[in-house]
Structure 1
Amino acid sequence: MAEAIEAQDSLVEYGFRRVIITITAILCALLEIVDTTIVNVALNDMRGSLGATLTDVAWVITAYAIANVIIIPMTSWLSKQFGRRNYFAVSIVIFTFSSFLCGNATNIWELVAFRFVQGLGGGALLVTAQTIITESYPAAKRGMAQAIYGMGVIVGPTLGPPLGGYLVDNYSWPYIFYINIPIGIIATILTIMYVRSPKYGEKLRANQVDWWGIVFLTAFIGSLQFVLEHGQQDDWFEDHMIVTLSVVSVFGLVAFIWRELVYKYPIVNLRVLRNTNLWTGTIMTFILGFGLYGSTFVIPIYTQSILGWTATDAGLLLIPSSITTGLMMPIIGKLLERGIPAKYLVAGGFIGFFLYSLWMHNLLTPDTSSEAMFWPLVVRGMGLGLLFVPITTLALSTLKGAEIGEGAAFTGMMRQLGGSFGIAIITTMISRLNQQHRVDLIPNISAVNTQTQEQLKGLQQMFIGKGFSFNEALDRAYQVLEGKIMLQGTVLTYMDVFLYLGILFLICVPFVLMLKKGAGKVDTSSVH
């Protein structure tokens, strides 16, 4: 035990080296996270230049996400096999080179294949970066370490859309991939020069590798990610492929848990979840991912489809929220260092998210201004700051040595899965609630409703004045009213989505406060 603590302490860095290592890790985390959202605004351009359908081009996002969530749980094991520095450096090289290949893809399926490879490199960057930062700081400063890492993780999804919009509007879509290349080269050089590997035990021989664990994990996570990404557009369980993959995912999960608990050299150490702080933090990380990626997904769709904004404008709207989060991070890191229990900060974060969701629910209209959304988004930024750092600190604070990497892999995977569940559920809600609101609003266009008749006559006269015949003008008038109903129904749908998101966060508050006394306080017992 003393040797493990000594090995862990030997990785703590000070002064210039720690600054360089921290910058390198954040650069890599940003590379990975920006790439999950930067593609969204370029899909139309890709579709046009590569001659792909909308369903085909959606695979550019799906392939990356599937590769990401498959590799994340394996990162700790792969680090042990190849040495952390080597694995981290190779992952950056894979990510950077596949970015170059993505930009040079000549058809949609080439691009999808290269995005999958990019996802395999990218998944490693996020979790390994978190482990490197955590181990570079002494245990008493873990809160500040997570605050620094969190700035990259929270700002990343928000930077993606405006950066992608700017590059697509001013250059062309391959540049959203080319921008990774210089950053990747710098990060690789800094990693080789400064990052150190922990001393792990003997490497496994090929016949000891948990191949069945890898197969079951891939079946479980890969199938689940596909179901979440494509469920709504394929009408969920009405589609044979979705049903089949759901069964494969459940079977894969059960088989994976059984295999990891009985095999001597498991690919993922599930026993680390015995740590109460880790499994509590893992559940909260899932909810955080749900809120972070869900709200980042809803706002650009609302502003572009209802308010008619450009992709760049929609992305820029989220920047005040990110700046607020960035400013909150070091403050919250300091509060944790002073011994304030993480559970109180997390409860405050969930309440902040509830207030933001309720505020957005109340101000949405077909012509809401960006000024009206400024303060709610600032509250969202404060809520994210209060959630991210304490949750990650809570999850990892009592882990030591190799367990830190294993814990970071669980929290990383659950944040990604939380985001996937959030987007899948919100997409389904938007589709189903939209239909329901349209059905509810249609009776308002009634022949006996005098207000409707007056609107119809006014619109008809306007079209007649533009040279349309009596019947054509009446058809046009009905189309305008139908459009208004569709618009109102969509706004009501987004209002409902924000209300339900708010209720979810409010429900979490009492559960957080029920955590055992002292949960989330940083364990300083290993500091010497």
Structure 2
Amino acid sequence: MATQTMSPPAPPMGLRRWAVVVTAISAAIIELIDTSIVNVGLTDIAGNLGVTIEDVAWVVTSYAIANVIVIPMTGFLQRYFGRKNYYIGSIILFTVASYGCGLSDSLWMLILFRFLQGVGGGALLSTSQGLMFDAFPPAQRPVASALFGMGIVLGPTLGPTLGGYIIDNYHWSWMFYINVPIGILAVFMSSTFIDKKEDEININRRAIHIDQIGILLLAVGIGSLQYVLERGEADDWFDSKTILWLSVAAIIAIPLFVWWELRGTREPVVDLRTLKNRNLTIGSILIVVVGYGLFTSVLLFPLFAQRIVGLTATKTGQLLIPGGLVTLPMFAIVGRMLAKGVSPRLIVALGYVAFGSFCFMMSTYNADASSGDFIQALIIRGIGLALVNVPLINQSVSTLEPRQLPTGIAIVNMMRQIGGAFGVAITNTYVTQRTAVHRSDLVSNLQPGDMITTERITALTQGLVARGMNAFDAVSGAYKTLDAIISRQALMLAYLDTFQLAGMFFVVTSPLLLLLKRKKVDAATAKAIADAAH
């Protein structure tokens, strides 16, 4: 296909530029919100649909599987359909699927629409980043990175906040209906304000090779891995035949996918040769840790606040707001620091320190922790995420050739999602194991005839008698109450251990920062990142 060399189109100006910015950030945020918004509503959904919590967890799993499959293919799909067409089509799919989720009256109907929602959402995060870069001239693209970084962090943070408010005040279906007006507005604004790039106007799809085998192996391998990580703990890992067979599928399909993309086809759907670049490889590992920390904290904090401290879903969500508000100016500060030439490695290192500090602070709290304690820790977390995300993404792709940038950024986005999946799997498994260990340790200290144990049982019995319970039932109730106290204490200690483990991930991987080559993202590379349309 013949190509023409033309100067790149000028970025949009004035209100048109900010219309593109609002559209791109809004689409990215609603996609990321939907990765976490349903977490606080699973109990209500399960009760309404008449299924177990274990079954309704598929609502989360199906979305994550679709997301992680689509993200690495975004570059190919944009080339095939054209970026604007693919973006608008994905928003429409996401919006329609959101409406379908709200209408669902059965579990499998909800799972189907959540999967379709994940397919549409997979494009929103990646493509929005390219739209943001295109909206600014090269000198101002650190600002674009900072603005987009807000969406990356605020989405998972706002999800539990918004979900908690909806669950406490409305029907759970509104967690999905809320996407509909935003999606309709995004389609209108995208159609009106986003321009097609030169190579989108006359696409010769016959000249574009479709790597069907690569797509199949990617879907089977990454999809199976995501399922195993999401559902492993709930299904007792390899005691489940489904987990066992999908683990085998992942073990076979992923190496075959790597081989096929490197040796079996001349036009791979994901060009894995880009991983020969040291910055991309090291950056991808660090991005996995950041994804692990982000999604683990989003999962673990609400559980700790609600199950240990006893806060409502709404109150738990409100505690996330101050950290999110602090994050906003921090992204602007980070963008200016990068523009002035401050070392990205230094900024990321400070972010690692901040996020690690958050984890270790949370590992010292107990059931008496106050709202102020949580707010302080979450503000530090927000600062850490702002310092880490933008410079780490930029540095990961800064030494790639322009033609490698689409694949490089797709890999970075995929690694964040996989890091989040690893985080959920590790957290669930570790909490279960450590709860059993702590419960055993606590119970071993309760000896028959022990004075302290006897005094506690007596006090609990007397309290129940004072409430009108007969003496026989009061003794039985006292033992049940003591058992509940032990279980809660064991769970709290397990949560503290898990926060500490997350902090250790940041400590252990921090030396990898020294291996990143320092290279400022120049105007040409920044433009290439924009052209990557991720």
- Asked if Structure 1 and Structure 2 have the same fold, meaning a TM-score greater than 0.5 normalized by the shorter chain, the answer is yes
3-state SS of paired residue (1:208)? coil
User: Given that residues 353 and 384 in structure 2 are in contact (C-alpha distance below 8 angstroms), is that contact kept between their aligned partners in structure 1?
Assistant: yes
Aligned length: 522
- 2:355 is aligned with 1:356: no
User: Given that residues 398 and 525 in structure 2 are in contact (C-alpha distance below 8 angstroms), is that contact kept between their aligned partners in structure 1?
Assistant: no
Structure 1 equivalent of residue 270 of structure 2: 268
Structure 1 equivalent of residue 421 of structure 2: 420
Taking the TM superposition and a 5 Å limit, the aligned residue runs for 1:313-324 are 313-324=315-326
How far did 1:162 drift? 1.9
User: Given that residues 398 and 523 in structure 1 are in contact (C-alpha distance below 8 angstroms), is that contact kept between their aligned partners in structure 2?
Assistant: no
3-state SS of paired residue (2:34)? helix
Taking the TM superposition and a 5 Å limit, the aligned residue runs for 1:214-233 are 214-233=215-234
How far did 1:462 drift? 3.3
Structure 2 equivalent of residue 306 of structure 1: 308
Supply the AA of the counterpart residue of 2:320: L
User: Given that residues 127 and 405 in structure 1 are in contact (C-alpha distance below 8 angstroms), is that contact kept between their aligned partners in structure 2?
Assistant: no
User: Given that residues 130 and 408 in structure 1 are in contact (C-alpha distance below 8 angstroms), is that contact kept between their aligned partners in structure 2?
Assistant: no
Structure 2 equivalent of residue 379 of structure 1: 380
CA, structure 1 residues 109+422, in 2 after alignment: closer, same or farther (shift >3 Å)?
Answer: same
Please identify, of 290-299 and 94-103, the stretch whose mean Cα deviation from structure 2 is larger.
94-103
- 2:85 is aligned with 1:86: yes
Taking the TM superposition and a 5 Å limit, the aligned residue runs for 1:158-169 are 158-169=157-168
- 2:433 is aligned with 1:429: no
Cα shift readout 1:227-273 (whole Å, capped 9, x = no counterpart): 01110011112222111111111211111111112312211122233
3-state SS of paired residue (1:72)? helix
How far did 1:194 drift? 2.2
Taking the TM superposition and a 5 Å limit, the aligned residue runs for 1:325-364 are 325-362=327-364, 364=365
Supply the AA of the counterpart residue of 2:194: V
CA, structure 1 residues 116+175, in 2 after alignment: closer, same or farther (shift >3 Å)?
Answer: same
Cα shift readout 1:310-361 (whole Å, capped 9, x = no counterpart): 2111111111111121120010000001111111111111111111111111
Cα separation, 2, equivalents of 1:225 and 1:289: 14
Please identify, of 345-354 and 50-59, the stretch whose mean Cα deviation from structure 2 is larger.
50-59
Cα separation, 2, equivalents of 1:244 and 1:206: 38
How far did 1:525 drift? 5.3
User: Given that residues 91 and 183 in structure 2 are in contact (C-alpha distance below 8 angstroms), is that contact kept between their aligned partners in structure 1?
Assistant: yes
CA, structure 1 residues 204+279, in 2 after alignment: closer, same or farther (shift >3 Å)?
Answer: farther
Please identify, of 16-25 and 495-504, the stretch whose mean Cα deviation from structure 2 is larger.
16-25
Identity %: 41
How far did 1:28 drift? 0.6
CA, structure 1 residues 86+441, in 2 after alignment: closer, same or farther (shift >3 Å)?
Answer: same
Cα separation, 1, equivalents of 2:199 and 2:403: 8
Cα separation, 2, equivalents of 1:4 and 1:44: 57
CA, structure 1 residues 207+312, in 2 after alignment: closer, same or farther (shift >3 Å)?
Answer: same
Cα separation, 2, equivalents of 1:255 and 1:309: 48
How far did 1:473 drift? 2.9
Q: Give the unaligned 5+ runs of structure 1.
A: none
User: Given that residues 80 and 208 in structure 2 are in contact (C-alpha distance below 8 angstroms), is that contact kept between their aligned partners in structure 1?
Assistant: no
CA, structure 1 residues 460+183, in 2 after alignment: closer, same or farther (shift >3 Å)?
Answer: closer
How far did 1:281 drift? 2.3
CA, structure 1 residues 402+81, in 2 after alignment: closer, same or farther (shift >3 Å)?
Answer: farther
Please identify, of 413-422 and 501-510, the stretch whose mean Cα deviation from structure 2 is larger.
501-510
Cα separation, 1, equivalents of 2:411 and 2:4: 21
Cα separation, 2, equivalents of 1:400 and 1:31: 31
User: Given that residues 347 and 513 in structure 1 are in contact (C-alpha distance below 8 angstroms), is that contact kept between their aligned partners in structure 2?
Assistant: no
Cα separation, 2, equivalents of 1:207 and 1:148: 33
Structure 1 equivalent of residue 238 of structure 2: 237
Cα separation, 1, equivalents of 2:10 and 2:118: 28
How far did 1:38 drift? 1.4
User: Given that residues 402 and 525 in structure 2 are in contact (C-alpha distance below 8 angstroms), is that contact kept between their aligned partners in structure 1?
Assistant: no
Cα separation, 2, equivalents of 1:309 and 1:464: 28
3-state SS of paired residue (2:363)? helix
Structure 1 equivalent of residue 141 of structure 2: 142
User: Where in structure 1 do 4 or more consecutive aligned residues deviate above 6 Å?
Assistant: none
Please identify, of 381-390 and 270-279, the stretch whose mean Cα deviation from structure 2 is larger.
270-279
CA, structure 1 residues 53+36, in 2 after alignment: closer, same or farther (shift >3 Å)?
Answer: same
User: Given that residues 339 and 522 in structure 1 are in contact (C-alpha distance below 8 angstroms), is that contact kept between their aligned partners in structure 2?
Assistant: no
Taking the TM superposition and a 5 Å limit, the aligned residue runs for 1:423-502 are 423-502=424-503
User: Given that residues 320 and 378 in structure 1 are in contact (C-alpha distance below 8 angstroms), is that contact kept between their aligned partners in structure 2?
Assistant: yes
Cα separation, 2, equivalents of 1:43 and 1:387: 31
Cα separation, 1, equivalents of 2:78 and 2:524: 26
CA, structure 1 residues 97+241, in 2 after alignment: closer, same or farther (shift >3 Å)?
Answer: same
How far did 1:289 drift? 0.6
How far did 1:413 drift? 0.9
Structure 2 equivalent of residue 107 of structure 1: 106
User: Given that residues 224 and 249 in structure 1 are in contact (C-alpha distance below 8 angstroms), is that contact kept between their aligned partners in structure 2?
Assistant: yes
User: Given that residues 165 and 317 in structure 2 are in contact (C-alpha distance below 8 angstroms), is that contact kept between their aligned partners in structure 1?
Assistant: no
How far did 1:399 drift? 4.7
Supply the AA of the counterpart residue of 1:107: S
User: Given that residues 292 and 419 in structure 1 are in contact (C-alpha distance below 8 angstroms), is that contact kept between their aligned partners in structure 2?
Assistant: yes
CA, structure 1 residues 295+259, in 2 after alignment: closer, same or farther (shift >3 Å)?
Answer: same
| TM-score of the two chains, using structure 1 as the length reference | 0.93
Structure 1 equivalent of residue 251 of structure 2: 250
How far did 1:206 drift? 9.0
CA, structure 1 residues 271+297, in 2 after alignment: closer, same or farther (shift >3 Å)?
Answer: same
Cα separation, 1, equivalents of 2:27 and 2:55: 29
How far did 1:514 drift? 3.8
How far did 1:427 drift? 0.7
Please identify, of 455-464 and 160-169, the stretch whose mean Cα deviation from structure 2 is larger.
455-464
Structure 1 equivalent of residue 296 of structure 2: 294
- 2:117 is aligned with 1:118: yes
Structure 1 equivalent of residue 411 of structure 2: 410
Supply the AA of the counterpart residue of 1:333: G
User: Given that residues 80 and 203 in structure 1 are in contact (C-alpha distance below 8 angstroms), is that contact kept between their aligned partners in structure 2?
Assistant: no
CA, structure 1 residues 272+431, in 2 after alignment: closer, same or farther (shift >3 Å)?
Answer: same
Structure 2 equivalent of residue 34 of structure 1: 33
User: Given that residues 161 and 317 in structure 2 are in contact (C-alpha distance below 8 angstroms), is that contact kept between their aligned partners in structure 1?
Assistant: yes
Please identify, of 52-61 and 276-285, the stretch whose mean Cα deviation from structure 2 is larger.
276-285
3-state SS of paired residue (1:234)? coil
- 2:182 is aligned with 1:183: yes
Please identify, of 299-308 and 461-470, the stretch whose mean Cα deviation from structure 2 is larger.
461-470
Cα separation, 1, equivalents of 2:262 and 2:303: 43
Cα shift readout 1:444-503 (whole Å, capped 9, x = no counterpart): 111242222222222233334445454433322222222221122111111111111111
Q: Give the unaligned 5+ runs of structure 2.
A: 528-534
Cα separation, 2, equivalents of 1:95 and 1:33: 12
Structure 1 equivalent of residue 532 of structure 2: none
User: Given that residues 357 and 499 in structure 1 are in contact (C-alpha distance below 8 angstroms), is that contact kept between their aligned partners in structure 2?
Assistant: yes
Structure 1 equivalent of residue 68 of structure 2: 69
Structure 1 equivalent of residue 51 of structure 2: 52
User: Given that residues 147 and 389 in structure 1 are in contact (C-alpha distance below 8 angstroms), is that contact kept between their aligned partners in structure 2?
Assistant: yes
User: Given that residues 38 and 161 in structure 1 are in contact (C-alpha distance below 8 angstroms), is that contact kept between their aligned partners in structure 2?
Assistant: yes
Structure 1 equivalent of residue 531 of structure 2: none
CA, structure 1 residues 56+461, in 2 after alignment: closer, same or farther (shift >3 Å)?
Answer: closer
